Structure 1
Amino acid sequence: MYLKKSLVSALFMLSASSGFAQGIVVNNEDLRSDLNWLNQQGVIQISTSTWPMSGDEIQRALSQARVSQPAQQKVLDSVLASLKADNHMAKVSLYAATDAKQFPQAFAESNKAQYVGALELNAGGANWDAKLRINAEKDPLIDSGHDVNVEGSYLAGKLWNQWLIAGQMPTYWGPGHDGSLIRGDASRPVYGLTMQRADQSAFETKWLSWIGPWQYQAFAGQLDDYDAIPDAKLIGLRLTAQPLPYLELGASRMIQIGGEGQPDSLKAYWNAFIGKDNECNESGCIGEGNASNQLAGFDARLNLNQWLNTPLSLYGQYIGEDEAGGLPSKKMYLAGVDYSSNFKNMPFQLYTEWADTRTNGDVKGITYNHHQYTDGYYQHGFPLGHAMGGDGEMYSVGGNIRFDRMNRVSGRVLFAKVNQSNLDINQAFPEKDEVKALDLTWSHYIRPDIPLKFNGWVSDSDVHGDDAGLSVAVDLPLDPKAWGY
């Protein structure tokens, strides 16, 4: 009980000391890992499969935390430190790498150039949130044609428990550690509007309360530098629900539609919405009856602690290109298992994951490709879905351990077969290749809310040979209160 009271007090002090309430929480690997750890330990119940997340929902979950071990309190403290780090009113971010990685990137690797310097300003209140992030880049890994951008910036307002967000934020849909088949963050963020619930509490009426805590995220934006069809639009919807404390279910759908030379009528959008977009006639597969490229599918996470008294979870995702019989067809798959425990009061998490972006297990050049949107399901040539792109297979084993308040180590080993259809629309991996890699990160906390991250990797590619590299990243608060002045 005393731990719960101290946590509620810490949440209040965090919000009050920052000068504004944190509304939107962007992709953050350490935070996601800590929240998943607490989920599997039975300390909290929260969905971590839809990013960006709502700060209201995180604080709601933490306020109901049931702590019984020192290791659990250590992870709760880590979550609070992550929220505080994202809540500084002003900070400078610096990143430098010796080289570009030759293997699929991990969740929340937000730096898209070899050298990045950023100034970030945050402001907000109970019903609004704003972030201005100005990035200066050198030697881009994903070339957008600009040395300076505002990726990661947004303006958000809350009304009737709904957040409306305008900006350019990374998005991630699904339970996977290393990738999402339908909406990942390997490409640069897409400009657009996002709507989602703030507090994800269950319906109060008995007719709908069985759904449990639920969330939706709706997105509409425009792709940048999409040469095949300039001004192509990207529209998406994700729904999640937790009908049982140990089970989360999700459904996702993405649509590429509109743009130069494409049908832009209300009928075209309605046909896409109801799934009537496979019409072909003597003129070909074009027009209002075939106006879009669509992906859709389902995912689930099951916590086995309920039966095995072991913090172990199973998760999976399947996504289909096109539609048949009202359901996604031409399917790709992802599955994994993760485990969260502690060793001598040091919290750790382990996982293993498999992903397959081929078409029903076969290389056909269909995944993330389309006969009209011929640049595929990519932006700047980098996948909007899984980081390896279409027609790939990937196996990974990874995890992290928090040694003490000031040091965390995370890493993964992976083997990937990428671009087996050898399509040049995948600029992340423009050739058929097999890649093996070891990726390690040491986070040393200058202060609990100021991580200094050192990342190192070695890889072997059939096409590019052996490779190794290092990177360093740090966020430094600028507001005097952050340093105790």
Structure 2
Amino acid sequence: MASDTRSRTGLPEFTLEGSELSRSLGGGRVYLSQERRHWGPGWGGSLVLDGGAPAIAAFGWRKNDERPFEWSWLSWLGPWGADFFIGGLASHREPERPWLVGLRITLEPLEGLQIGLSRTLQWGGRRFDESPRSLLRSLFGKDPNSDIDGGEQGNQLAGADLRYGWRWGASGTAALYGQAIGEDEAGEMPYKFLLLAGGEAGGRFSSEAPGILNGASWRLFVEWADTGMRHAYGTHQAGAYQHHVYRQGYTHHRQVLGHQIGGDAELVSLGGLLDWGRSNAMVVLHTGKALEGAQRLVPGARVHAASLALQRPVGEVQVGASLNVVWHNGQRDHLGQAWVGWGW
């Protein structure tokens, strides 16, 4: 499942998606970009910022290497990375023009163990305080909008993900991973978790394999995602990716920024990836169900989907295409995309 941005005429709009201007600053790079972010170890989706969501134009800072901390008392955390950004959200009416603030830190304290800490915040918007002081208070869990809505801190999601990988055989790899994102907070800690878990295995074909398989790498994965708040614990509460102040919810261009299945749904995905040279292909099959309160799907309906994506170079230009087909509630929806990219 993927996103699409179209004009009122129904024709695709020209965007600067994938573009970035950056400059070195403080061990990283400060940047202006319009990009998609996939925060988490999942191949089928992310609960907090998903690569299938529309690209966000943003200003930020990103650590561009994974060197350990120089301070000895933090060096045990191993290689680390970070990304902090603030960008505008489109197609919001209540309130208009809110912002999305994101922060992610990744650590590798042990070989093969990767830890990610993510936090996003819908902040500001028309009639809300958008001063630097308000932003700082929001980032530290204070209450910048109490004079408007009686104690609202903004719409925040936060949580962690883990991935542990190891090698097998001559060229094989395997990993187990999981993600837990709190849709609410209690005692200034994440609460009402959405959950994701999966496993993967990969390897490389020998140089004697025929055609494009010659020396190509492969990967298979199976993944389960549950976007119902506390549903996995048997006490489902509807309303994931929704908010009583930000009425259009956790969205950009009317599409959920978290897992592509939307809030209040359960999904199992089985996929395969093939990578040869500068080309790659991916096929994923999904099956699941919509829970009570589901926004994107009809509550109670079963859902089945198939996704296919292919990318390869044509000269100095990278060309790609994808097709997504979804069957739910007796209906079939499909979405195709094509893109061209180049760098200089």
Same fold (TM over 0.5): yes
In the TM superposition, what whole-angstrom CA distance separates every residue of 1:244-290 from its partner, at most 9, and x where no partner exists? 1211111111111111122445664344222245998xx9x924x42
> Closer, same or farther in 2 for the Cα pair 1:248/1:150, shift >3 Å?
same
For 1:218 and 1:325, locate their aligned partners in 2 and report how far apart those are by CA, in whole Å. Answer: 24
> Closer, same or farther in 2 for the Cα pair 1:440/1:266, shift >3 Å?
closer
For 1:269 and 1:434, locate their aligned partners in 2 and report how far apart those are by CA, in whole Å. Answer: 41
Aligned residue pairs: how many?
Answer: 332
- The answer on 1:351 being equivalent to 2:221 is yes
Question: Among residues 155, 160, 169, which one is paired with 1:293 in the alignment?
Answer: 155
Q: How does 1:99-248 map to 2 (within 5 A)?
A: 104-105=1-2, 112=5, 139=10, 147-248=13-114
For 2:123 and 2:341, locate their aligned partners in 1 and report how far apart those are by CA, in whole Å. Answer: 41
Contact map agreement 1:186 1:382 (CA 8 A) in 2: no
Question: Among residues 249, 264, 267, which one is paired with 1:391 in the alignment?
Answer: 264
Contact map agreement 1:392 1:419 (CA 8 A) in 2: yes
Contact map agreement 2:320 2:340 (CA 8 A) in 1: no
- The answer on 1:417 being equivalent to 2:303 is no
Q: Kindly state the Cα deviation for residue 328 of structure 1 after the two structures are TM-superposed.
A: 0.4
Q: Kindly state the Cα deviation for residue 457 of structure 1 after the two structures are TM-superposed.
A: 5.3
Contact map agreement 1:304 1:314 (CA 8 A) in 2: no
- The answer on 1:336 being equivalent to 2:198 is yes
In the TM superposition, what whole-angstrom CA distance separates every residue of 1:360-397 from its partner, at most 9, and x where no partner exists? 11543321111111111012210111111111111101
Q: SS of the residue aligned with 1:172?
A: coil
Greater share of residues in helix:
1
Gaps in structure 1 of 5+ consecutive residues: 1-103, 114-135, 142-146, 424-428, 480-485
Q: Which amino acid aligns with 1:358?
A: G
Q: Kindly state the Cα deviation for residue 434 of structure 1 after the two structures are TM-superposed.
A: 2.6
Q: Which entry has the higher C-alpha Rg, 1 or 2? A: 1
| Superposition RMSD in Å | 3.4
379-388 or 256-265, larger mean C-alpha shift: 256-265
378-387 or 261-270, larger mean C-alpha shift: 261-270
Question: Among residues 308, 318, 340, which one is paired with 1:440 in the alignment?
Answer: 308
For 2:341 and 2:181, locate their aligned partners in 1 and report how far apart those are by CA, in whole Å. Answer: 40
> Closer, same or farther in 2 for the Cα pair 1:380/1:274, shift >3 Å?
same
> Closer, same or farther in 2 for the Cα pair 1:225/1:209, shift >3 Å?
same
Contact map agreement 1:268 1:291 (CA 8 A) in 2: no
Question: Among residues 306, 325, 328, which one is paired with 2:187 in the alignment?
Answer: 325
| TM-score normalised per structure 2 | 0.83
For 1:234 and 1:205, locate their aligned partners in 2 and report how far apart those are by CA, in whole Å. Answer: 32
Greater share of residues in strand:
2
| TM-score normalised per structure 1 | 0.61
Q: How does 1:239-278 map to 2 (within 5 A)?
A: 239-264=105-130, 268-277=134-143
The equivalent residue for 1:368 is 241
Q: Kindly state the Cα deviation for residue 149 of structure 1 after the two structures are TM-superposed.
A: 3.5
Gaps in structure 2 of 5+ consecutive residues: 207-214
